[in-house]
Structure 1
Amino acid sequence: MNFTDPFGPLRDGTVEIASAWLPVREPDLTVGPVIDAEPLLLMVAIDHPLALKGEVGMEDLADWVLPYCGPPTPDYWLQTLVPTHTPGGRPIRRGPEVTTFQEVAAAVAAGDAVSLVHGDAARYYRWPGLRYLHPHDAPTGEWALIWPAAQETDTVRALARAAKGCPVIPGGRTTTATAPRRVVGTPEYIQYADVPPPCDVPPQPERRGRCPHHLTPRADPPRITGQPLASLHGRGFRQ
């Protein structure tokens, strides 16, 4: 599954259940429990002018181009990551057309665009040339399980019940194997193995290996302990 046709595989029977970011307003699809919730991040090139600012906000998007994908992606669904206007009403330009997250990351790393992304991108796509910023007024992005209403099975209901029984902590994630990433109401992070908490310390290109101070990509990928449900974003399941 991909964001150019996020609901097609559910409708043609390729998968029985999937996860997608909210909102999902499709009359033939059931929206199940939320499995992940955390503020959106802004992905920029490592040498982008926004990376040098002391603080960024959603209004800054009006000065830059966002990558987008066209139909059949529903525009209301795309608005979460590719809004047409800032909260203050300023228009936001849409730039290079993309079909995969890898194309988004490549466009951003080349300096052709900036992109709003969900928080887990900073953990799983730590590419050289990218930096993840924290807009001070970023909305919270949520992911939920979805499935075709007319094809609900016992397996689908069982998975939805299991997901519903797992805690979802804002700034964290639903998981059956590891602790949430952030403790609500505190600045503390409960970490996955070898994955540093995000911050905005300037990158240090001369250092190799894991840097504990920021999410700038490093040569060695993180090792994730367990299999969080939220790591299954955009992927479907068959019985």
Structure 2
Amino acid sequence: MELRDIEIFLTLADELHFGRTAERLHITPSRVSHVIKKQERRLGVRLFERTSRTVRLTPPGSRLRDELLPAHRRILQALDRTAAEGRAEAGELHAGYTTPWCAELLLRAAEELRGRHPGWSVRIHEVQFSDLHGPLHRGELQLQIAELPVLEPGVTAGPVLLRERRALMLPAGHPLAASESVCLEDLAEVPLLRLAGDHPQPLMDFHSPGHTPQGRPIPRGPSYVSWYEIPVLVAAGFGASIVAARAGEYHARPGVAFVPLRDGPTLDYGVLLPAAGPAPLVPAFVDLLRSAAR
């Protein structure tokens, strides 16, 4: 069975629809049907039950999918690594960031990398909260610096680069905005903006908790999908947000106050990498990031 035929089988096993499979692989539905029939003839067993309305895996088809899928992934990873080795003498790293101070760290390390490896360059990309790990999963980035903790399959956390004190971004007219500092119990006094989308609950509890340490409910404010919505919503009086204290240096604007949080953990930023393993020169670049952070 050729690699392309395996890919067609696995895609149909995922989509369970000939048309969607063809569209996803940029081939015709008849090509999909021909390949599956050829596989069934060769193996002597039906892989799919097909009617005019549904497509379902047979038990042998399910077993074949379960055994082929990890092997297919390993083959693709091996091919990617081999191709990457061929580009190791020169190339371009793509690195992502979620905050401007992380972008500055990437730029400092990128300048040092170019000095040590003249054939290499680094292109940096802003990563939106609404698709926090998508670029890593899709192979668009080789690494990124983002908020921890990370609870995402297929993504591993590297070294922590920055440990930031936290602050509460508040509407300037809110009574807490005049305080020298606030504590986590004060969060019960103001709606807290929340990240939109489906995210692991421990991550949501860390960045947008639903209760104070003593169990008092924290009002829920509107949700957001990107950082740029947060100051607008806060300035309009819709709620508050827990941010890194240094955000006040980068995002000060009328109608918004930044008040330090005097308790709770720091907001840590670390290197995120694909679980499949680092691309060429990424380990060296991570070392430069650690040096730049120090």
Partner of 1:210: none
Gaps of 5+ in 1: 167-173, 176-239
What is the SS of the residue equivalent to 1:90?
coil
8 Å contact 1:4–1:73 — kept in the other structure? no
Is the alpha carbon distance of 1:7 and 1:158 closer, same or farther for their aligned partners in structure 2, counting shifts above 3 Å?
same
Mapping of residues 138-217 of structure 1, within 5 Å: 138-166=264-292, 174=293
TM-score (norm: length of structure 2)? 0.54
- Equivalent pairs counted in the alignment come to 168
Partner of 1:19: 145
Structure 1 CA distance for aligned equivalents of residues 264 and 257 of structure 2: 16
Mapping of residues 53-92 of structure 1, within 5 Å: 53=179, 55-92=181-218
8 Å contact 1:16–1:156 — kept in the other structure? yes
Structure 2 CA distance for aligned equivalents of residues 23 and 7 of structure 1: 13
Mapping of residues 1-150 of structure 1, within 5 Å: 1-53=127-179, 55-150=181-276
Structure 2 CA distance for aligned equivalents of residues 85 and 49 of structure 1: 20
Rg: which structure is higher?
Answer: 2
What is the SS of the residue equivalent to 1:18?
strand
8 Å contact 2:179–2:259 — kept in the other structure? no
8 Å contact 2:157–2:270 — kept in the other structure? yes
What is the SS of the residue equivalent to 1:76?
helix
8 Å contact 2:182–2:259 — kept in the other structure? yes
8 Å contact 1:10–1:17 — kept in the other structure? yes
Is the alpha carbon distance of 1:164 and 1:52 closer, same or farther for their aligned partners in structure 2, counting shifts above 3 Å?
closer
Kindly report the root-mean-square deviation, in angstroms, between the aligned alpha carbons of the 2 structures. Answer: 1.7
Is the alpha carbon distance of 1:95 and 1:165 closer, same or farther for their aligned partners in structure 2, counting shifts above 3 Å?
same
Structure 2 CA distance for aligned equivalents of residues 106 and 12 of structure 1: 31
- Superposition deviation, residue 49 in structure 1: 1.0
Structure 1 CA distance for aligned equivalents of residues 264 and 228 of structure 2: 23
TM-score (norm: length of structure 1)? 0.65
- Superposition deviation, residue 17 in structure 1: 0.7
- Superposition deviation, residue 155 in structure 1: 2.3
- Superposition deviation, residue 25 in structure 1: 2.3
Structure 2 CA distance for aligned equivalents of residues 50 and 32 of structure 1: 36
- Superposition deviation, residue 12 in structure 1: 0.8
What letter corresponds to residue 102 of structure 1 in structure 2?
A: Y
- Superposition deviation, residue 54 in structure 1: 5.1
What letter corresponds to residue 36 of structure 1 in structure 2?
A: L
Runs of 4+ in 1 over 6 A off after TM superposition: none
Higher helix share: 2
Gaps of 5+ in 2: 1-126
- Superposition deviation, residue 113 in structure 1: 0.1
Structure 1 CA distance for aligned equivalents of residues 210 and 131 of structure 2: 20
- Superposition deviation, residue 65 in structure 1: 0.6
